[in-house]
A and B are shown apart, each in its own frame.
Chain A
Amino acid sequence: AQSVAQPEDQVNVAEGNPLTVKCTYSVSGNPYLFWYVQYPNRGLQFLLKYITGDNLVKGSYGFEAEFNKSQTSFHLKKPSALVSDSALYFCAVRDTSGTYKYIFGTGTRLKVLA
């Protein structure tokens, strides 16, 4: 079965500092990995994805993620955090074995402190 784990419920970082939100995955076959952000009472917004190609993926709003096959990780990063980055972040993997459904992690709340 495919699964995604986000080990941190919350991450606090000072504005201007680099941030990392962790994600590990378990899949059979090649992973289709995604990061989404959710603001209060809103749907999810797409940040970036890894399907194939370069391990370092660049996405929206200055975010990037590094696909690490040996560590089965797909951590989200940003060199310099903004207060406006404070939100709920979800890592997801897409099942490619037949159902094509998305499996989401439990989410990590990012709080950027001014």
Chain B
Amino acid sequence: GAVVSQHPSWVICKSGTSVKIECRSLDFQATTMFWYRQFPKQSLMLMATSNEGSKATYEQGVEKDKFLINHASLTLSTLTVTSAHPEDSSFYICSASPSLNAEAFFGQGTRLTVV
């Protein structure tokens, strides 16, 4: 199956700093990628839909100035958590799909810990 690579798999940062997470589709082009946040023992919460060449679409309640999304190419989307605080600590997952009928492929996830 297709591969989506997410990097880094874990990161620890100091409160007030920014962290960038990359999501790459390795063997297909993705005009749309999705970013999720998952709290312990909970489901995935869709944060935003990343659209290549245009602005991301954020879900209600997600601060777009805090979670910056850039989708500059058909194989790369980035999520930057700006001015991170301990409450931003979470597991972040990206996904992409080659087409509407195809399943979504997920990155390995990034465990962010803000200290």
Residues of A within 8 A of B (CB): 32, 34, 36, 41-46, 49, 51, 90, 92, 94, 96, 99-107
> Is the CB–CB distance between B103 and A41 below 8 Å?
no
Instruction: Tell me the minimal C-beta distance from B25 to chain A in angstroms.
Output: 13
Residues of B within 8 A of A (CB): 1, 4, 6, 32, 34, 42-44, 46, 49, 57, 91, 93, 95, 97, 100-101, 103-109, 111
A60 and B58 alpha carbons, distance in the complex (Å): 33
18 residue pairs bridging A and B, Cβ less than 8 Å apart: A32-B101, A34-B103, A41-B91, A41-B111, A42-B109, A43-B6, A43-B95, A46-B103, A46-B105, A49-B103, A92-B104, A94-B100, A94-B104, A101-B46, A104-B43, A104-B44, A106-B43, A107-B43
> Is the CB–CB distance between A99 and B100 below 8 Å?
no
Say yes or no: A44-B101 contact (C-beta < 8 A), given A90-B44, A104-B43, A104-B44.
no
Instruction: Tell me the minimal C-beta distance from A61 to chain B in angstroms.
Output: 13
Q: Could you say which of B44, B49, B104 contacts A34, with CB atoms under 8 Å apart?
A: B104
Say yes or no: A43-B109 contact (C-beta < 8 A), given A32-B101, A100-B100.
yes
Instruction: Tell me the minimal C-beta distance from B103 to chain A in angstroms.
Output: 5
10 residue pairs, one from A and one from B, having the closest CB atoms? A43-B106, A44-B106, A106-B43, A46-B103, A43-B109, A43-B108, A107-B43, A104-B44, A49-B103, A43-B107
A71 and B24 alpha carbons, distance in the complex (Å): 38
